[in-house]
Structure 1
Amino acid sequence: MKCWVQFISTPTADTPGTTLLLHFDSKRYLIGNVAEGTQRAAVQRKLGLIKVGDIFLSGPMKWANSGGLMGMILTLADSVTASLEGKDGWMKGQRKSEGNASIAALAKAKMWLNIHGGENLTHTIATARRFIFRKGRPLHTNEFRAKDPLPEDWEPTYKDDLIKVWAMVIEPDVRSPRKRSHDEFTGEVPSRTINGKRESEDDMEDRYHQMRKAVVSDMFDSDWRLDALVKMKLSEVKKPAAVFRRGEGGKIEKFTGPTSDKDPSFEDIEVLVRNPWPGAMIEELPVAKPVINSVCYIIKNFPQRGKFDPKAAIELGVKPGANFSKLTKGGSVTTEAGKVVTPDMVMAKGKEGSGFAVVELPDESYIAPLLARGEWSADKVMNGVKVVIWILAPGLVDDPKLKNFMEDRSDLIHIVSSKDCCANSLALESAASAAIRLHLFDSERFPTPRFSNEIAPTKDNAQRPYVKARSGLTLQLEPKIELQEDTIIPYLDTADVVNVFKKEHQEVVDLANAAREKISSPEYQNELEKNQADIPSKDAEIITLGTGSSVPSKYRNVSATLLRVPSYGNYLFDAGENTLGQLKRVFGDETPAVLRDLKAIWISHLHADHHLGTASVIKAWADETKKHEETKDNKLIMASQRDMLKWLVEYAQVEDFGHDRIVGIPMGNTRFATHDFSPEDTEKYGLTSIAACWVQHCFGALAVAFNFPNGFKVAYSGDCRPSEDFVQIGKGATLLIHEATFDDELQGDAYAKKHSTTSEALEVGRQMNARRILLTHFSQRYQKIPVMDSHGGKDQVAIVAFDYMRCKIEDFVKLEAFKPALMKLYELKDDEKPEKYKPALA
């Protein structure tokens, strides 16, 4: 039986965590961090994850370690559902030979996803109940706690058919940095009364844990149906929501009559609405508290049986055939002479299962407690363990205690994954290559991603007692332990990307040179200055950090757009997964300054591809502003629908990510909403008002307009169908940022999925009389340039967004001049066009 462990990622801006994939033919395991960017790295590596059945999260339960978990859960659930749906046609053709009962059982089989980790794992997942719901894959959480008793006789903490796991929960040897409560100082344990009985703190926490697990169960294993409608009074409907009523003949039709927000004298009739999924109906979770313990693992295969010796079996009187098979499967047989032959009589000596340890140390205070663990000297645990994979915080790689341990245990292979010894290389080669190609014909608007393949030398230039982790590095476990470095993913050869581009795309280069010559002419510059003289803040810059839809892909990350307005500040519209990493790729060493000047974040709706990077951006902002006297008291505007703000409140119970410095502005309680800033707040945040309106996409979806003191105005659609209300609040916008998920020929898809086509987005801009239009949020199926005509006046300009693009308002016209080169670059050849989806049956 072959099995191996491979590094999916090491710490980079693209992949801030360390993720391992344990591979068996029948099953896969994710181990370590499932940080933001993990899923995209798996796509880049073409790793099929449909067989992942268990995730073992290492370290403390913090967003830095688990920020990609929500997106990963959605992808794993959807992959199983798609696979089963793909089997439907195959199964119909197999019914006659296989029988209806067995086929039906296969289709309805529940493929459980088990997620293991430290305390607050269940709470973290439960906080997402308002925006994550799937029926195809039930989910089970397993939390390891420091108070759990050590296993008797070193039995594993967890095991399945393939592996045994010993979880080590490491408590730091210093006090937690969080504020201590009065009860901690006095040593008294608070008690509560339940049904007349006093409840201890442990009993209360166990009860809370079961409540959280019930919520998670409802998120992934309920009988909720989308088409189920429930009756209620019109006044009881929670807005915004689709409302129906029975018309003539009992036919269900959409309700279009007056409601309380439009007509106070409305008739409170009985209507039909879709019932929210069960998890979303839980208003609040039991209160959690931060836990900083770090979870580490020792993982081993089961003992491997020796090979069957047919010669020995024959000599003992066993006839070849069925009896050979029985012996190899562990059964005993009786020969014709009446002699009982057992497997150990005909099998070579077996061996202990091979194994490895995964150790995560967030800081120095965890080292001594880790090294004092009894597992390191327990033969039952360590026999067969040959490798330790260290996930180390910056500054720990040269710690004397760790170095001594590695040198003393030279019988083990030590592999270290840390920013200290892993380069900030380009982990997403496809996206980086695309950015480099764009840079070659317009270096002003398309910067190359900031990266480094260099690793700082050790302090004393001494030989390292460990192997440096690299993406692709593989540890074979069976049939024998072997470190395979030939599988390492080489660093992207950026010079080769340049050479290939110049060699294969000469026509694109010529078109780009023509555009560059055109925009450099004095006549062009004079005309441009004249046409744009009345535009306020035309030096404002738009940085498109993520321009794709639904899930991260090879070429486009999910939604995030940064606006930098000189004299006012920086503003972030949506923050999909790994928005922070995209910022670092664009700005490099300038990122701290960009974060310090961040004034507001707007989240358009609670779909995962629009907000799962929010917590890490807020934490990075809070950490950076705390370092400087002039910014340490700054606040950050967080404007969104109320459920987004509730999610941040609940997650803040898990870790301090700067939530106490957020100024929340809830919007969306009514069809139109406006928040006006006082003169004092306008001075702080650079805004005079934020106007929002409901749009057609999902519950709570909002479009918005940001208004500035000098008349500069930015309208942002989020995800939606074209909206007259949005046109109204965005009237006269300097810049419209509008989604264009589908090409015009996919109008039906846009209508069904409540998105917009290219032409529809441009029409919104025409009605809004927006001076500049930026199209973004494209389908992830392939890279493209939509066919478009702005349909506006002579000075209305529309451009298409790309990841990492930086474009000032005054430069939209210049970028439009490169449109012929862009169209040529992204021409789809026949063999590049997407095929119809063919689900895997594996």
Structure 2
Amino acid sequence: MSTTAIPAAAKDTGQPAKYERQPNVLRKKLSSVVPGSVNLQVLGAGANGSPSAVYLFTDQSRYLFNCGEGTQRLAHEHKTRLSRLEHIFVTRNTWNAVGGLPGLALTIQDAGVRQVGLHGPPHLDTMLQSMRRFVVLKNLQMQTIDATNSEPFEDSILSVQSVVLRSEQQPEQSVISYICKLKPRPGALNLVKCVEHGVPPGPLLGQLKNGQDVQLPCGKLVRSADVTEPGETALSFAFIDVPSADYLPALQAQAPEYKQLAASELTEVALVVHFSPPAMTEHAEYRQFMADNFSRCTEHIYLNSPSNGFSGYAAAHRIQYQLHQLAPLVFPLLAESLQLQPNCPPKKTKLEQEEPASGAQQPLDEGVVSMTSFHLRPKKGLDRTLESKLTPEEYIKETHAVPGVTELLAKLKCDTKLSQDAELASSESYPRIIFLGTGSCIPNKTRNVSSILIQTAAEAFVLLDCGEGTHGQIVRLYGSERARQIMLQLQAIYVSHLHADHHIGLIALLTERQSLAPEAPLLLLAPRQIEPWLQFYNRQIEPIAAAYTLVANGELLQQPLRGEAVARLGIDSIATCLVRHCPNAFGISLTLQAEHEGAPIKITYSGDTMPCLDLVELGRDSTVLIHEATMEDDLVEEARIKTHSTISQAIQQGRDMQAKHIILTHFSQRYAKCPRLPSSEDMRHVAIAFDNMQVTVDDLKEYQKLYPALLAMYAEYTEELEQRAVKRELKLERKRKLAET
């Protein structure tokens, strides 16, 4: 891994991490002050494989509501600072609500966060405990609070009351909705009244302004209410999650609580955020409940709505549009972008629409996307100005604005078939290798974590590793309908080792596959040590045991897997070897029934590893070697410490096993676009992988022709990498000279 499993900050060096959060005096001082700014921000709207997650932030504190797979990636892309997160509230303990927690916990631990409260249904504590093999929390304390039997959460900013809903069919299953009440902000300080009451200038005025009563030096008590103007009406807002009709009776039973909240003269219900799935938000009984218990002035945000058209991962589309100019066959546009109309006028918010007629049923929201905001203070209302959107014309213009790129692209069209229109190209050549995630450690804007989809036959797919958000990557690349077909045709998932960035996406894939084909279990090839985690999830959270048949990677060390189990995948045999990374880390080779130039096609995948002789033997005479290349060449010592490979080491592994083609992947997050490459001669028969790239063996023969235009396109970025390398070398040189003297 990947430093994800054991982040640098978590290593026990006996010294505090240099980036460990220092006590913030100002923050402590503000902790008792009612904030002047309170905003709710949609991180993920549940569209096209994105999570449903909402971030609430004030001047002092941060709160997250639900944390599905991909939450930290969206937060990174949109510069939402999770390092200041203090409390997480989840509505369910199932994967769609908590699947992003493992990666997020490791990331915020690395950023110096030391304590986070996790509120939600039962079993969250045992879930974290069952993850301890691959989520190593040494410096972060995640305190779990069972919201079904705890007191309401309260701090100086808001109170959060849990509303427990239980299924009629399975009473042991509980889902939590939340009612949040902001502490009202005191009215403005009336200085005339302060003088009348004898309050001297100084800090006492500030305390009175903040709603605190004070005692004067003479002993007189002055109440804040006596010297301030009337305060604002307290605002309330709610998060509601009703998974299915089984929970509707429980929702109806809570009607008096919601009705009392809406009817109170002391509070105004500004907003309801719906985590409920579309089948429920469109249910007549559900909609009637909303009409009966909330006024027409209450706004509604419907996450997971079919109207929410865009996932929010704009940076992935930007780089895909740019790479598409190089080779449409290799870099097809994402189906998500083809389904959207990026230039349509912005949708009106309900505040801008005509007021509905009295008694009219409240319409569903028109749709929200990542970065839709709702201001709770100082001005109440929806704000769409920062919403994530696609601008393809801008991405293409950026590409052609780089000097020399237009001419190099024109030359490519003459030199290679890879510049053909992807829609006109034949897709009958197999295997087809599709890269869903090509980054290491944690996802960044343009590279998700490890996952490679291989189409081994016309109706058969195999997945090599499945980091967080893998299913979402499939949905955005292919569109929802084709993604369903692929999930039905997915026959096997291979997990190389148990670092989080290589298998956190597994639960989502298993649950999706089980819902589509409950009688057709997947073949799961993984370290045997994954079993306790899967058994826990199946036993305590939701049933997934029928979704897979586990074959331990270690069982294939001596005897490759053959026979009907793999023949239907278009594969003749599957073999593994141990590699040099962490305990129970494996490499794999797939020998296919398909042939190329008279020999069976053999694909070898390294997983994460240092240079490894056993992998060379396993991959002897491979048609394609897919090898991790986490570090650039002058970081060889860092690669050794973290048990990864440099780019040249990965290439040499391919040369040693006499592989015909080499594809490099698993790049450090510092190489968001293009890694720092060795000389062009060293890159013969070597391709570098990008997210959403797909290649056949024939495509790899021509990949090298892309390098001149590719390097020109990202010349500014690669020059920056060169400058960083020079600075590192100068720093090392200074250290050497100091050591000599």
Letter in 1 for 2:277: A
Instruction: Please state if 1:575 is matched with 2:570.
Output: no
Residue matched to 1:74: 106
Name the residue aligned to 1:3.
Answer: 38
Over 3 Å counting, the alpha-carbon distance change for 1:40 and 1:657 in structure 2 is farther
Matches of 2:310 and 2:223, distance apart in 1: 56
Find the aligned partners of 1:568 and 1:473 in 2 and give their Cα distance: 39
Give the counterpart of 1:29 among 54, 57, 63: 63
In the TM superposition, residue 493 of structure 1 has moved relative to its aligned partner by: 1.6
1:397-546 to structure 2, matched below 5 A, reads: 397-408=281-292, 409-451=294-336, 452-453=339-340, 464=363, 466=365, 468-479=367-378, 482-502=380-400, 504-505=401-402, 507-520=404-417, 539-546=430-437
Q: Is residue 171 from structure 1 mapped to residue 166 from structure 2 by the alignment? A: yes
Q: CA deviation at 1:563?
A: 0.9
Q: Find the residue that maps to 2:648 and give its secondary structure.
A: helix
The verdict on how the C-alpha distance between 1:644 and 1:591 changes in structure 2, with shifts beyond 3 A counting, is: same
Alignment partner of 1:317 is 2:204: no
What are structure 2's unaligned runs of at least 5 residues? Answer: 1-34, 349-359, 419-427, 595-599, 729-741
- Separation of aligned partners in 1, 2:310 and 2:52: 14
Aligned residue pair count: 652
Deviation at 1:758, TM superposition (A): 0.9
Query: Is the counterpart of residue 127 in structure 1 residue 18 in structure 2?
Result: no
Q: In 1, are the aligned partners of 2:41 and 2:55 still within 8 Å (CA)?
A: yes
Relative to 1, partners in 2 of residues 1:517 and 1:53: Cα closer, same or farther, differing over 3 Å? same
Give how far 1:379 is off: 4.8
Residue 348 to residue 826, structure 1, CA distance change in 2 (3 Å): same
Q: Decide whether the 8 Å contact of 2:526 with 2:552 is kept in 1.
A: yes
Cα shift readout 1:232-273 (whole Å, capped 9, x = no counterpart): xxxxxxxxxxxxxxxxxxxxxxxxxxxxxxxxxxxxxxxxxx
Letter in 2 for 1:166: Q
For 2:85, which of 52, 62, 71 is the aligned residue? Answer: 52
Per the normalisation by structure 2, the TM-score is: 0.82
Q: Which residue of structure 1 aligns with residue 540 of structure 2? A: 654
Taking a change above 3 Å as real, the CA distance of residues 435 and 426 of structure 1, as seen in their structure-2 partners, is farther
Long gaps (5+) in structure 1: 82-110, 177-289, 522-536, 627-632, 838-842
- Superposed CA deviations along residues 483-525 of structure 1, whole A, max 9, x for unmatched, are 13243415212233223433x036223223322312359xxxx
| Alpha carbons of structure 1 residues 690 and 339: separation in structure 2 relative to 1, 3 Å | closer
Distance 1:353 1:436 in 2: 47
Cα deviations across residues 534-559 of structure 1 (Å, max 9, x unaligned)?
Answer: xxx97311000000111000111000
- Please report how far the alpha carbon of residue 334 of structure 1 lies from its aligned counterpart in structure 2 after TM superposition: 4.0
**Aligned with 1:828: secondary structure?**
helix
Residues 830, 816 of structure 1: alpha-carbon distance in 2 compared, 3 angstrom cutoff: closer
Query: Aligned equivalents of 1:169 and 1:381: distance in 2?
Result: 21
Query: Is it true that 1:359 corresponds to 2:240 in the alignment?
Result: yes
Q: Relative to structure 1, is the Cα distance of residues 789 and 369 closer, same or farther in structure 2, using a 3 angstrom cutoff?
A: same
Amino acid at match of 2:416: I
Is the CA contact 1:772–1:812 (under 8 Å) kept in the aligned structure 2? Answer: yes
Task: Tell me how far 1:606 sits from its aligned partner.
Answer: 1.1
Distance verdict in 2 for CA 1:790–1:551, change over 3 Å: same
Which moves more between the two structures, 659-668 or 743-752?
659-668
Could you say if the C-alpha distance between residues 134 and 655 of structure 1 is closer, same or farther in structure 2, counting changes exceeding 3 Å?
Answer: closer
TM-aligned CA distance change 1:831 to 1:770, over 3 Å: closer
Q: Name the Cα RMSD after superposition.
A: 3.0
SS in 1 for 2:281: coil
In structure 2, relative to structure 1, the CA distance for the partners of 1:385 and 1:466 (3 Å cut) is: same
Q: 2:317 touches 2:334 (CA, 8 Å); kept in 1?
A: yes
Contact 1:317–1:335 at 8 Å: present in 2 too? no
The answer to whether 1:553 aligns with 2:444 is yes
Q: 1:613 maps to what in 2?
A: 505
Name the residue aligned to 1:273: none
Counterpart position of 2:703: 815
For residues 657-689 of structure 1, give each alpha carbon's deviation from its aligned partner in whole angstroms, at most 9, with x where no partner exists: 5432412111348xx814434533343444443
Task: Give 2:604's aligned amino acid.
Answer: A
CA distance in 2, matches of 1:135, 1:495: 46
| Equivalent position of 1:527 in the other structure | none
Cα distance in 2 for partners of 1:291, 1:339 equals: 56
**Alignment deviations for residues 98-134 of structure 1 (CA, whole Å, 9 cap, x no partner):** xxxxxxxxxxxxx321101112222222221111112
Contact kept? 1:790, 1:797, Cα under 8 Å: no
For residues 755 and 791 of structure 1, the distance between their equivalents in structure 2, rounded to whole angstroms, comes to 23
Moved more, 428-437 or 491-500: 491-500
Q: Give the structure 2 partner of residue 378 of structure 1.
A: 260
Supply the AA of the counterpart residue of 1:777. Answer: H
Q: Deviations over 1:209-248 (max 9, x none)?
A: xxxxxxxxxxxxxxxxxxxxxxxxxxxxxxxxxxxxxxxx
Contact 2:457 2:570 in 1 (8 A): no
Q: Does 1:595 align with 2:494?
A: no
Matched, 1:294 2:294: no
Contact map agreement 2:461 2:569 (CA 8 A) in 1? no
**How much identity, in percent, do the aligned residues show?**
28
Query: Deviations for 1:164-204, whole angstroms, at most 9, x for unmatched residues?
Result: 1110111234x14xxxxxxxxxxxxxxxxxxxxxxxxxxxx
CA–CA separation in structure 2 for the residues paired with 1:635 and 1:49: 37
- SS at 2:112 equivalent: helix
Q: Quickly say closer, same or farther: Cα 1:414–1:369, change in 2 above 3 A.
A: farther
The counterpart of 1:704, out of the listed 574, 579, 588, is 588
The structural deviation recorded for 1:694 is: 1.9
The CA distance in 2 between the partners of 1:332 and 1:597, in whole Å, is 71
Letter in 1 for 2:515: D
Three-state SS of the structure 1 residue aligned to 2:436 is strand
